[in-house]
A and B are shown apart, each in its own frame.
Chain A
C-alpha cells in the first residue's frame, strides 16, 4: 500500500504502518550515523540531554556528500543500520519513533521497537542522488566537528521509503525473501 505521512510520527500513524507499505515522508527528520550515535549515547549515559528532541521523531542514518554551491545537500542515501544497533534501544526508550536506513536490525532493536511502538524504514541504498531531490533544506544542529557525521535537521518532501519492520515486529526482509527463494 502507498501511504503519505507527515512527521512527527504520532501513534495513530505508527499504528497504520505495516511491513511492506510504500511510504512518502514529509516534514522534519534528523540525520545521525555512527559517530553521532556514539556521542549521543555517551552523553545520555551521563544524564545529559541528546542534542535533538527524540520524541516522535525520525532519525535518518545518513552521512551526505558535500553540497555544491546552490545545492541543499549532496548525495543523500542511507547507510547500514546494524552499526547503530548498539545505541538504538536507548534512543527508542527516549521517544524515538522511526529510523530510516538499510539492512538488518538486531533482535534487541526489534524487541525495543515492539515495546516502544516504533517503525524501521528502508530507503534504497545507492540511490543518493535521487533521494537528495526530496530534501528541501538541511541545517547542522549539533556535532559540527563530525563533518559528514554531524547531526542535521532536514525538511523533506515525499521521501520514498519502505516499511521493513513495523511496530508488531513483522519483518519484510524475512517474509519477502521467503517468497522468492527457490
Chain B
C-alpha cells in the first residue's frame, strides 16, 4: 500500500494542462515534419511550415499552440494498492485543471449548462475517466480536446453484417463530412466494439496513443495503415486546401462486443493532438 496525497495530483494535473497546451508530443511533431517533407501541394507545404513555426513560437514565448485550449480530458489509471489522502479525488482533479487554466493563461471554454451556456470561467469541470489497475502507482493522462474537431466526431452503431468494410466506410465518411472543419492534418481515433459509450471512450483513448506505435493486433494494425492511406487519397490536405496529407495517423482500439452489434466511434482530432502522460 502506498499513500499519495491529492496535493501531488493537483500539482501534476496543473503542470500537465499547461505543458500539453504549449508543447506537442514528439510523435505529433515528427508526423507534421514528415507530412511537410511528403506534401505535393505547394500551399500545403507552406501551411505545414507555418504549423512548425507556430509550435516554435508557442514553446519559446509560452503562447498556447491553439487558442482553443480545449476541454480537459483526464484518464486516471489508479493502482489498486494506492491509498489517496487529502481531499475528494474528483475535486482535486478539477482543482488541478482550474489552476492550470488560470495560471497558464489558457482559454476558459467550458459552459456550466449545455443549454443555458454560462461560462464557468475556470475551464472546469474536466471529463474524467477512471480505471483501476494493478500496482501502487497512478498514471495520469491529460488530453485537452478542441471542439472544432470534436464536433466532427461520430458514433455509428453498425450491424455485424456490415463487417470490416462497414467500419472502413464509417471512418471515411466521417473524415469526408469533417473536410476542412477539423483543422487537417487530423489524427483519427477509432473505437470498435464494446457498447455505445465504450466505443466512444476507446476512440478518445486511441488519440492518446503514440502515432509511431501500431495496434498490437496484426489485422487492426493493417486496418490502421489501410485507412490512413485511403484518407490521404481524399485530397483535403493541410487546412483542407488540397493536398496529400489529410491525416497524420489512424489509431484503432478494439473491445469485445455483443452478438448483435458492431459499435464504431470515430473521434476526430486536429493536428493539435495534445496528450501528456505521467506516472506518480
Chain A interface residues toward B at CB < 8 A: 22, 35, 62-68, 71, 74-77, 79-80, 82, 102-104, 122, 124-130, 132-133, 147-148, 160, 162, 164, 172-173, 175-182
Contacts and interface: CB of A to CB of B under 8 A. Distances in A.
Given A104-B181, A129-B63, A180-B244, A124 B235 contact: no
B67 A130 contact: no
Nearest to B102: A66
A126 B117 contact: no
B75 interface: no
Nearest to A147: B119
B50 interface: yes
User: Interface on chain B toward A: helix, strand, loop, or mixed SS?
Assistant: loop
Contact of B148 (A22, A74, A125, A160): A125
Contacts of B47: 124
A164 B239 CA distance: 11
A148 B179 contact: no
Interface stretch (B6-14, B54-62, B92-100, B254-262): B54-62
A179 B235 CA distance: 7
B242 A179 contact: yes
Interface in B32-60: 40-41, 43, 47, 50-51, 53-55, 57-58
A46 B102 CA distance: 37
B217 interface: no
A64 B50 CA distance: 18
Contacts of A122: 180, 239-241
A9 to B, nearest CB: 21
B62 A68 contact: yes
B64 interface: yes
Contacts, number: 157
A127 B234 contact: no
Contacts of A129: 54-55, 57-58, 61, 63-65
Given A127-B51, A128-B63, A103 B105 contact: no
Interface of B: 40-41, 43, 47, 50-51, 53-55, 57-58, 61-69, 105-109, 117, 119, 121, 148, 151, 179-183, 233-237, 239-244, 270-272
Contacts of A164: 241
A65 B69 contact: yes
Contacts of A65: 63-64, 67, 69, 105-107
Contacts of A132: 63
B240 A177 contact: yes
Contact of A64 (B107, B237, B239, B272): B107
A178 to B, nearest CB: 7
Nearest to B185: A126
Contacts of A74: 63-64, 67, 105, 107
B65 A128 contact: yes
B239 A128 contact: no
A177 B107 contact: no
A155 B63 CA distance: 19
A174 B16 CA distance: 39
B271 A126 contact: yes
24 contacts: A62-B67, A63-B67, A63-B109, A65-B105, A65-B107, A66-B107, A68-B62, A75-B66, A75-B107, A79-B68, A102-B180, A102-B183, A103-B240, A127-B50, A127-B53, A127-B66, A128-B54, A130-B57, A148-B109, A162-B239, A172-B241, A177-B237, A181-B235, A182-B235
Contacts of B236: 177, 180
A122 B121 CA distance: 29
B234 A177 contact: yes
Contacts of B243: 176, 180
A74 B237 CA distance: 27
